[in-house]
Each structure stands twice: as structure tokens, then as C-alpha cells.
């Protein structure tokens, strides 16, 4: 035991001892030894359990456990010795400390019955405090210099009769504190009802080592109860104030700790906190062996458009909605973190890979319900979700937290490679995953592709009334060694992010129009146009130069824009549709899901076709009651002079249902797969 801690014990005016976790007595003061002698014991036992009764020993062990947990604890009521004698009427455990060589202890303070109190308490006299003159005892300093030679703090003694204002004035004088008097008075009033208690008084710049205004230094005041008041009245609480100057502000320390482990925008855990929590969960799984853990890596799709079109405030709002969606989807047992700009991670205890996959699908479904309205724009969001599953068996391969998160990240990248908006389970072999990740890190940029690596395919559009082909949708595909394993949807998404998509659309448009001029077939040709192209003056100039001299060519062309682009840029899309309609082109809204911001604008727009989002027809097949809603939507479109196309039709049952709903046309694998259009291939 150090001289410092021994000195602190002797300063206390009552019996006290430092006690180890097992009840061992590490050190005690003279008052404690005197108390044992009064009860007929000679010498200090090694452990409290050696001289306490069994009942008192059990109570003492419970309180000791709480104190070592970091909370002050106490026992009121008689504590007896093995002889049956009363040892004390009250004791409390405070000041959890670390001693030399990593040993831990708590300070135990004892209060006894009145008999023999003078001998029990020893000869302590707080600077000659005179009980008959309480007004002179406010904040008296303990002056035994021999005892306090190694004690770095100031000690003040309050006999119990002082007013809270007197105490506050004394503390402010001693600390040079900057706290207002009324605030400190209230804090002292509350503190004296629940001793021991710690107060922190802000220091002025002049008294702080940090001389900047609002410096982070405070004075820490620890108030410890003493037996009796200045005249022994139970209504007066004597206490000792241990004052330590120039202490780091605990509120600021707590805030810095929060910032170190929390994302400041969403309030979610950050990567550091998530990795730490993941390590704990994996340790639990290794020990438990009966459950598993799903780890998710989520990368938002097209988040850049939210920032670019709506501003960074809109981007922040979208991230907050995504965070709320993830927390709601995974529930109280899930843990969610934001680990990058538009990247999130999550984990959830589950029992199987199938359940892990199911929750990933729920995440995407939740994203699909997010709508962010900024003036006349409506932003939606989706994402790519990579899933890694760990149980006691897989953890035998020594997968740590970082490796498991990396596996989920690799699966997520595979989804991005496929165009996003997907769920991907990670590879079981970490080596395979690393190789795949290396390949994905070297993806070619969209603008680096040349014409020979791009090819156009055509998918038939079939009239449901005549069962004959009435048109073709032109689709862009990639070919060549560099395009291996890279989906067109992913490549087009990358082209949109890089700003290269307008050139891609212009390239496609030229070849479609060239083919239409050479072909004797008069069927409709449809192609998708991005919002970037719709607002690009160069793309509009290309259309004008080709169509203004050939109106018949324009009548064969249908230009479609996705509903999500219309929601984000309604004015751009409306303007573009009006522009191409003047040449005689037809127009379509692709992936139409019937959102009200679109429905409300349809009566004033020049739109010939609505191409239904695939989920609408799938819902009708799963839940026939929804057919009435879809039928009403189709009827409303027809009254507005628009025709409806259903997409992704794969079975005869789906086609039959669509005919009962009186839909004009459909496309999908049931009617014909996309095939190379040899006539326009480069």
C-alpha cells in the first residue's frame, strides 16, 4: 500500500479500511484498530469474513461486489461479529481505486452506535473546530501536515450547520470557480442528500492550465459524509470535501468518447464501435454455440444523385431515413452502424443462413418504401446488401471481426457489379473472396470501352390482344474480355455516376435510328434515356438533327425514362417529353409503380405508354385482391389516352392474368429473350 493511500486513511475522522475483492484488508487506520479492540479483538484479521458473522459476511460480500462494479454501495443496520457483538450500525463502500501492481480496492467507511464513540473515532480534530462556534467552522482546512505530506488535494471540513450558500462561497473561493452561486447552492443541496457525491466546478481561464475561453479544466469536489454534525444532531450532515484542481472536464471527456464511437449525423455506431461490438458477439457465439450471427454490408445505390440534385441537406436527410429504416427492420436485437459516406453495416443474431438472407431482403423492401420530397422532386433509394453468416462451425476457421466484415463487403461489391439493388451471400472461402475483391477493384471505367465492345440486343414486345410482336425494346450489352462478369446494369450505373451516360445514350440512339432507316419493318423501337441525357443540350441537338428531316423515322421511336428519374427531375422529364413529342416520337414512363407525384402530373403530360414495374404484376399473382387496384390504375391510364405494357412476364399464368386485366402489351422471357440485333451490331 502506497504512502499516499495510507495518509488518506489517517485523514479520515472515522474507522476506515481499503478492502480487496475477496474481502482481504489491505490497510486500515488507527480508528479501525481502536474499534476492534473495543469489541474484544486484538490485531487486525486478514479478511472481514474472518471476524464477521455469517449473515453479516454475506451482506458485506454483496455490497462489495456492487462497489467493485463502480457504484457506491452501503449497508444500514447492525453488522455483527462472530461473538454476537455489534461491530457497526452502518458502513459504505466508495472510491474504487487501482493500487500498485494493478491491485484493486474499495474504501470502506464505518459508522458505529454512540457508545464508545470518542475512542472509536480516535483523536481526529479538524483544525480545532469548536462545536460551540459553528459559524467559524465553514470549510476549515485539515492542517496535519505530517499526515498530508504526500496528499495532492485540498481538504475542507463542513461540520453540518453551515448554509449551502456559505459552503458554495467557500468552494468558489478555494477553487477560483466560474460557476454561478445559485447553481452551486442547488447542486450542494442535492448532493448532501446522497453522499458520497462528486461535483465539478468550471474554472475560470485565469485559474486553468487551458487559458483559452471556455477551457476544459474543472475543479473536482468529492463530498464524503462524516459521522454526526457540529453538535451531534442527526439533522445536520457533516462532510469532508476533497478538492482537486485542474481536472479534465468529465462532460467533455464523455462527449469525446461519444464522438469517437458514434456517427455524428445519424447517431449510429461508427466503424470502430461496430468492429468492437462485432468482436463481442463473435466471442459470445464461440462460447454459446447454439446461435449464429448475420453480418450485413450495405452500399446505397445512386445516392450521389440525391446529393447532386437535392443538395447535401437532402443527402443528410436521406441518410437519416436509411438509418431509421435499418434500425426498424432489424429491431432491438440488431446493431446498425454507418461506416462510410453512404455505406452501412449491421449485424443480427439469427439461427440460419436462410434467416440472414430473409432479413437482407427486408432491408431492401424497407428502402423501397423511402420517399424524400424536396420541393417538386421526390427521391427514392435502394442498395446492395452483402451478407456474411457466422456460427460456431464457421468460426473454427478463425474468422475474426474484420475478416467477417470484409466477406460481407466483398459480397456487397458483387451486387454492385451486377447493377445494385440486390442481396448477395458471401463466399465461404475467404481466399476466393479476396481474389474476387481484387478483380472488382480493377473494374474498367465505362468511358474506356470502345464501340466494338458494345452491342445492341432487342427484346420483343407482344400485343396481348393479337399475340403478335408489336415492337422491340433496344438494350445495351457488353462483349469482350473486359466485360466478363460485368452486367450491363452495373456498367450503366457506373456510367451515370461518372457523367458518361449521355455519350452512351447518344451512341445507342445513332445506331437505333440507323437501323430504323434501313429496315422495312415498321414496328415500334423503344430505348431508355437517362435523366442526364434528357437535360443534356448535345443529346437534344442530336435528336433534332436526325428527326427534323425524317418525321416518319420519329414515329417509329419511343423514348422511355424511368419513373425514379421522373420523381427526381420532373421538370426535366416533362420538358424532354414535350420536346421529342414535337417531332412525332412516342414517350413512355418505365418501371411505373403508380406513385402519386407521378399520377398527379400525368393529365398534363405527353405520355403514350406506361411500362409497369415488375413488382406490381408479381403482387397481383401473390395476392389476387390487389388485381382490383391494378385494374383501376389501368382504367385511369386508358382514360388519359395512355397504353400499358407489363414487364418481366415469365410464365403462361402471368400472361393469362394480364389478359384478364385488359393490358395492351407485355414483354418478358415468356414471349422472347433479348437477342443480338445483327442488323445494327457494330
Nine-digit cell string for 456: 445492341
- Does residue 128 fall inside a structural domain? no
- 222's CB contacts (< 8 A; 6+ apart) are 196, 197, 198, 241, 242, 244
CA atoms within 13 A on the CB side of 362: 15
- 536's CB contacts (< 8 A; 6+ apart) are 502
- Does residue 597 fall inside a structural domain? yes
Q: Indicate the helix (H) or strand (E) that contains 176.
A: none
- Does residue 126 fall inside a structural domain? no
pLDDT digits (tens, 9 = 90+) for 512-562: 888 888 776 778 899 999 988 998 998 999 889 888 878 788 888 999 999
pLDDT digits (tens, 9 = 90+) for 661-672: 889 999 999 999
Contact between 464 and 664 under an 8 Å Cβ cutoff? The reply is yes
- Does residue 169 fall inside a structural domain? yes
CA-CA distance, 616 to 629, in Å (whole number)? Answer: 10
- 628's CB contacts (< 8 A; 6+ apart) are none
Pairing, β 469-478 against β 524-528? parallel
Q: Are residues 411 and 503 in the same domain?
A: no
CATH number of the domain within which 24 lies: 3.30.450.20
Contact between 337 and 269 under an 8 Å Cβ cutoff? The reply is yes
Contacts 24+ apart (CB under 8 A), 564-567: 564/302, 564/380, 564/591, 565/530, 565/531, 565/534, 566/531, 566/598, 567/377, 567/378, 567/379, 567/380, 567/595, 567/597, 567/598
- 627's CB contacts (< 8 A; 6+ apart) are 620, 657, 660, 661
Contact between 546 and 557 under an 8 Å Cβ cutoff? The reply is no
Nine-digit cell string for 288: 454459446
- Does residue 129 fall inside a structural domain? no
Q: Are residues 11 and 92 in the same domain?
A: yes
Q: Is 367 helix (H, G, I), strand (E, B) or coil?
A: helix
Residue 63: domain span: 3-121
Nine-digit cell string for 216: 476544459
Q: Are residues 506 and 595 in the same domain?
A: yes
Q: Are residues 401 and 487 in the same domain?
A: no
- Among 121, 154, 181, identify where a domain stops: 121
CATH number of the domain within which 628 lies: 3.20.20.450
- Does residue 180 fall inside a structural domain? yes
Contact between 440 and 418 under an 8 Å Cβ cutoff? The reply is no
Residues of the chain predicted below pLDDT 50: 114-137, 142-150, 205-214, 230, 232, 429-441, 680-682
- 496's CB contacts (< 8 A; 6+ apart) are 302, 305, 530, 532
Q: Are residues 41 and 146 in the same domain?
A: no
- Among 388, 420, 442, identify where a domain stops: 442
CA-CA distance, 65 to 259, in Å (whole number)? Answer: 31
Task: Tell me which residue of 481, 482, 455, 395 sits closest to 681, measured CA to CA.
Answer: 455
CATH number of the domain within which 282 lies: 3.30.70.270
| Number of domains making up the chain | 4
List Cα–Cα distances, 267 to 41, 128, 370, in angstroms: 58, 55, 19
Buried b (16+ CB within 10 A) or exposed e, 627-642: beebeebbeebeeeeb
Q: Are residues 468 and 398 in the same domain?
A: no
CA-CA distance, 387 to 356, in Å (whole number)? Answer: 7
Task: Tell me which residue of 390, 373, 453, 473 sits closest to 426, measured CA to CA.
Answer: 390
Task: Tell me which residue of 681, 676, 678 sits closest to 459, measured CA to CA.
Answer: 676
CA-CA distance, 72 to 50, in Å (whole number)? Answer: 24
Contact between 110 and 76 under an 8 Å Cβ cutoff? The reply is no
The angle, 0 to 180 degrees and rounded to 10, between the axes of the packed helices 250-261 and 271-288 is 70
3-state SS, 95-142, equals EEEECHHHCEEEEEEEECCCCCHHHHHCCCCCCCCCCCCHHHCCCEEC
CA-CA distance, 51 to 24, in Å (whole number)? Answer: 12
pLDDT of residue 211: 38
Q: Are residues 597 and 457 in the same domain?
A: yes
Task: Tell me which residue of 142, 137, 162, 163 sits closest to 154, measured CA to CA.
Answer: 142
Q: Is the torsion defined by CA of 562, 563, 565, 569 positive or negative?
A: positive
CA-CA distance, 654 to 564, in Å (whole number)? Answer: 25
Please spell the DSSP secondary structure of 400-441, one letter per residue. -HHHHHHHHHHHHHHHHHTTSSEEEEPPS-HHHHHHHHHHHH
Contact between 140 and 157 under an 8 Å Cβ cutoff? The reply is yes
Nine-digit cell string for 471: 415492337
Contact between 125 and 131 under an 8 Å Cβ cutoff? The reply is no
Q: Is 69 helix (H, G, I), strand (E, B) or coil?
A: coil
Q: Are residues 419 and 469 in the same domain?
A: no
- Does residue 127 fall inside a structural domain? no
Nine-digit cell string for 454: 458494345
CA atoms within 13 A on the CB side of 182: 0
Contact between 525 and 557 under an 8 Å Cβ cutoff? The reply is yes
- Does residue 347 fall inside a structural domain? yes
Q: Are residues 102 and 143 in the same domain?
A: no
Q: Which runs of E-coded beta strand occur in 493-538?
A: 524-528
- Among 95, 121, 147, identify where a domain stops: 121
pLDDT digits (tens, 9 = 90+) for 91-128: 888 766 666 566 788 888 887 654 444 444 443 344 33
pLDDT digits (tens, 9 = 90+) for 458-516: 999 999 989 999 999 999 888 877 776 667 777 777 777 777 888 889 888 888 888 88
Pairing, β 73-80 against β 25-28? unpaired
Q: Are residues 470 and 588 in the same domain?
A: yes
Q: Are residues 249 and 289 in the same domain?
A: no
CA-CA distance, 11 to 107, in Å (whole number)? Answer: 13
pLDDT digits (tens, 9 = 90+) for 283-304: 888 877 778 899 999 999 889 8
Q: Is 173 exposed, middle or buried (0-12, 13-18, 19+ CB in 10 A)?
A: exposed
Q: Are residues 242 and 140 in the same domain?
A: yes
- 370's CB contacts (< 8 A; 6+ apart) are 318, 321, 322, 325, 380, 381
Amino acid at each position: 500500500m502506497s504512502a499516499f493511500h495510507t495518509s488518506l486513511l489517517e485523514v479520515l475522522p472515522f474507522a476506515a479500511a481499503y478492502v480487496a475483492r475477496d474481502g482481504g484488508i489491505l490497510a486500515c487506520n488507527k480508528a479501525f484498530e481502536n474499534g476492534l479492540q473495543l469489541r474484544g479483538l486484538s490485531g487486525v484479521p486478514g479478511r472481514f469474513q474472518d471476524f464477521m458473522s455469517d449473515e453479516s459476511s454475506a451482506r458485506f460480500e454483496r455490497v462489495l461486489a456492487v462497489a467493485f462494479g463502480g457504484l457506491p454501495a452501503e449497508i444500514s443496520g447492525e453488522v455483527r461479529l462472530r461473538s454476537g457483538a455489534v461491530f457497526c450500525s452502518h458502513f459504505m463502500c466508495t472510491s474504487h481505486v487501482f493500487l500498485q501492481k494493478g491491485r484493486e480496492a474499495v474504501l470502506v467507511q464505518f459508522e458505529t452506535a454512540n457508545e464508545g464513540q470518542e475512542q472509536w473515532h480516535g483523536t481526529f480534530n479538524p483544525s480545532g473546530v469548536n462545536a460551540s462556534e459553528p459559524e467559524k467552522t465553514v470549510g476549515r482546512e485539515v492542517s496535519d501536515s505530517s499526515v498530508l505530506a504526500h496528499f495532492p488535494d485540498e481538504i475542507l471540513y463542513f461540520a453540518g450547520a453551515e448554509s449551502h450558500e456559505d459552503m458554495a462561497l467557500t468552494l468558489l473561493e478555494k477553487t477560483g470557480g466560474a460557476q454561478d452561486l445559485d447553481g452551486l447552492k442547488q447542486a450542494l443541496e442535492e448532493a448532501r442528500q446522497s453522499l458520497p457525491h462528486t461535483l465539478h466546478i468550471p474554472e475560470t481561464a485565469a485559474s486553468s492550465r487551458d487559458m483559452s475561453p471556455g477551457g476544459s479544466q474543472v475543479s473536482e469536489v468529492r463530498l464524503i459524509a462524516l459521522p454526526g454534525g457540529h453538535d451531534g444532531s442527526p439533522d445536520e450532515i457533516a462532510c469532508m470535501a476533497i478538492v482537486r484542481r485542474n481536472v479534465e472536464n468529465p462532460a467533455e471527456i464523455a462527449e469525446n468518447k461519444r464522438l469517437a464511437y458514434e456517427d455524428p449525423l445519424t447517431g449510429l455506431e461508427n466503424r470502430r464501435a461496430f468492429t468492437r461490438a462485432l468482436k463481442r458477439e463473435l466471442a459470445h457465439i464461440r462460447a454459446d454455440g447454439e446461435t449464429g450471427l448475420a453480418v450485413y454490408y450495405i452500399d446505397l445505390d445512386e445516392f450521389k444523385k440525391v446529393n447532386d440534385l437535392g443538395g447535401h441537406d437532402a443527402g443528410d436527410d436521406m441518410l437519416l431515413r436509411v438509418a431509421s429504416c435499418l434500425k426498424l427492420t432489424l429491431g432491438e436485437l440488431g446493431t446498425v452502424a454507418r461506416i462510410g459516406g453512404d455505406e452501412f453495416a449491421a449485424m443480427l443474431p439469427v439461427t440460419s443462413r436462410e434467416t440472414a438472407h430473409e432479413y437482407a431482403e427486408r432491408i431492401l423492401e424497407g428502402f423501397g418504401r423511402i420517399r424524400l420530397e424536396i420541393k417538386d422532386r421526390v427521391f427514392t433509394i435502394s442498395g446492395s446488401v452483402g451478407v456474411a453468416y457466422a456460427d460456431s462451425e464457421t468460426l473454427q476457421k478463425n474468422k475474426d471481426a474484420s475478416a467477417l466484415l470484409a466477406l460481407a463487403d466483398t459480397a456487397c461489391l458483387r451486387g454492385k457489379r451486377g447493377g445494385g439493388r440486390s442481396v448477395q451471400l458471401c463466399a465461404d472461402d475467404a481466399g476466393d473472396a479476396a481474389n474476387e475483391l481484387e478483380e472488382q477493384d480493377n473494374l474498367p471505367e465505362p468511358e474506356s470501352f470502345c464501340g466494338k465492345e458494345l452491342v445492341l440486343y432487342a427484346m420483343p414486345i407482344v400485343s396481348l390482344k393479337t399475340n403478335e410482336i408489336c415492337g422491340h425494346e433496344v438494350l445495351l450489352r457488353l462483349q469482350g474480355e473486359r466485360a466478363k462478369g460485368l452486367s450491363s446494369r452495373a456498367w450503366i450505373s457506373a456510367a451515370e455516376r461518372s457523367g458518361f451516360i449521355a455519350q452512351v445514350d447518344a451512341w445507342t440512339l445513332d445506331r437505333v435510328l440507323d437501323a430504323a432507316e434501313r429496315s422495312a419493318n415498321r414496328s415500334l423501337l423503344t430505348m431508355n434515356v437517362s435523366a442526364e441525357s434528357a437535360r443534356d443540350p448535345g443529346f437534344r441537338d442530336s435528336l433534332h438533327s436526325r428527326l427534323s428531316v425524317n418525321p416518319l423515322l420519329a414515329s417509329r421511336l419511343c423514348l422511355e425514362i424511368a419513373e425514379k428519374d421522373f420523381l427526381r427531375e420532373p421538370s426535366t422529364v416533362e420538358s424532354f417529353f414535350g420536346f421529342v413529342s414535337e417531332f412525332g416520337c412516342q414517350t413512355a414512363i418505365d418501371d411505373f409503380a403508380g406513385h402519386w407525384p407521378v399520377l398527379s402530373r400525368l393529365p398534363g403530360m405527353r405520355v403514350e405508354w406506361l411500362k409497369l414495374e415488375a413488382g406490381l404484376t408479381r403482387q397481383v399473382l401473390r395476392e389476387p385482391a390487389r388485381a382490383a387496384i391494378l385494374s383501376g390504375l389501368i382504367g385511369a391510364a386508358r382514360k388519359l389516352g395512355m397504353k400499358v405494357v407489363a414487364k418481366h412476364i415469365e410464365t403462361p399464368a402471368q400472361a393469362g392474368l394480364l389478359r384478364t386485366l385488359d393490358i395492351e402489351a407485355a414483354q418478358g422471357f415468356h414471349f422472347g429473350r433479348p437477342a443480338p440485333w445483327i442488323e445494327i451490331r457494330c
